[in-house]
Chain A
């Protein structure tokens, strides 16, 4: 735990050591606000909830989360610092987890900074605070899922741009796994069981209930398992390719 904490602090600090953190947070807040107020019709709907915000969040995450995760391992491999890190008395797991948690915490900070939206609905009406808390927790879980995918894609390459693009593509597939766009690719030939299994992997489906304030343990478990799966994949990829 101590080692994970040290790695976590260094990684989180490195986000804020460069303009990346500030640019990211600024862009995230600007886009989330414009989606909420313009595309989401925040005022026109006449309802005091944050649905316009949470409905667009998955799409915002699709492009912004891979931007956080792209440097996690690609940069370590490009600069060679992975050799320094992996020859310290630490395990690969501690490194994978420490870095992931730092990225997740950073995404959480950005998410938390959308609190003025919450204050706005509170000012305008009487929102269901429990539902909003649940939606925020769901958003954080979804961010974790996207980040774990991004972490794995970042371990595959030493080029951050490639890591970003791979991250967006894989996240897109997971986001829309339950929709015709993805399912049609399997529909013709794959057995129905597989198609159903793929359909059940959709981020959107699992996020939908949470964003409406409904906590279903299956949705929470789904995101937890997605995170665990891709972190294991990250460490397997690193084990095989760290010194390439």
Chain B
């Protein structure tokens, strides 16, 4: 369980994070979203006990981060932003050092290290020093460091930043796999990641929480929610079709993307447009390619509520 209560951090008089309160239960993957500088990293640092809050408090697994920092950190795995580590150490040496600090010993230490080496595919680079590794490998070493003690709570600050699509996929499946019995909090500004791994999204802007919903609920706030989109076979039909669509009841807007010859019809609240659009096409004898109903666009919602 993670619990924050009116967590606030000010630098001088400049507020970085203000009155942030939320709870995360086991099994949840919380996506922490926000523009750069919104306070994501500061909030995560307060959870990890690296930055002391100006006011408010946070607890991890029932241990207050301020008054019982060692107990709180012991059940936490934390990946700081940029995955810092000791460049002159070998991957094996570094992860062994973290395992020692985490109190792992004997057979369990060996088993956990072997597990993270395998899970993050670190075997080929175990004896290399970290400073010679590619960005992707460094990030994976950072993730390995965070999960080596099998923590109940994982806080990952931009875990997929700088990874290629294959590695991103790998990290996301790792997160999904681990989330079954853990609490996972990730921060990101990649919206597809939220849809891919998170069960809940908190959007923070200028230090305050502005949304706290499931990714589906967030997407539903988009003006593209339930929009009908299709491709025209013939460009010349665009103007005629557009005029016909705009005449339909319950239409909020019609957008046309010239390059893809795609028409998107945005409904007013709660109106279902699929049937009327299909009827209109059948009536005018036009063929609609790639016809589909949109769930909503997260980037659109994101821009609307953080602007």
Contact = CB atoms under 8 A, between A and B. Distances in A.
B98 A88 contact: yes
Interface stretch (B74-82, B182-190, B298-306): B74-82
Interface string B74-100: 101010111011111100010001101
A83 B88 contact: no
7 contacts: A6-B100, A7-B101, A84-B145, A86-B50, A88-B98, A89-B71, A90-B101
Interface in A72-114: 79-81, 83-84, 86-91
A14 B50 contact: no
A14 B89 contact: yes
A14 B101 contact: no
Nearest to A15: B88
A46 B249 CA distance: 112
B269 to A, nearest CB: 45
Contacts of B50: 83, 86-87, 242-243
Contacts, number: 64
A88 B102 contact: yes
Contacts of A39: none
Given A83-B45, A84-B80, A3 B101 contact: yes
A17 interface: yes
- Interface majority SS (helix, strand, loop, mixed), chain A: helix
Given A18-B88, A83-B48, 4 more contacts: A10-B86, A13-B93, A17-B129, A80-B84
A6 B85 contact: no
Contacts of A14: 86, 88-89
Given A6-B97, A89-B70, A89-B73, A81 B85 contact: yes
B49 interface: yes
Contacts of B248: none
Contacts of A17: 88-89, 129
A7 B103 CA distance: 13
Interface residues of A, number: 21
Contacts of A84: 78, 80, 84-85, 145
A83 B89 CA distance: 17
Contacts of B101: 3, 6-7, 88-90
A79 B98 CA distance: 17
The list of the 5 closest CB pairs from A to B, nearest first, reads A80-B84, A83-B80, A89-B74, A17-B88, A87-B48
Contacts of B49: 86-87
Interface of A: 3, 6-7, 10, 13-14, 17-18, 79-81, 83-84, 86-91, 242-243
A110 to B, nearest CB: 19
B51 interface: yes
A91 B49 CA distance: 11
B80 A87 contact: yes
A87 B101 CA distance: 11
Contact of A81 (B51, B73, B78, B86): B86
Contacts of B87: 79
A7 B86 CA distance: 12
Interface string B110-144: 00000000000000000001000000000000000
A243 B73 contact: no
A83 B79 CA distance: 9
A141 B236 CA distance: 89
Contacts of B97: 6, 10
Nearest to B47: A87
B128 to A, nearest CB: 13
A81 B97 CA distance: 13
Interface in B18-77: 45, 48-51, 70-71, 73-74, 76
A81 B92 CA distance: 17
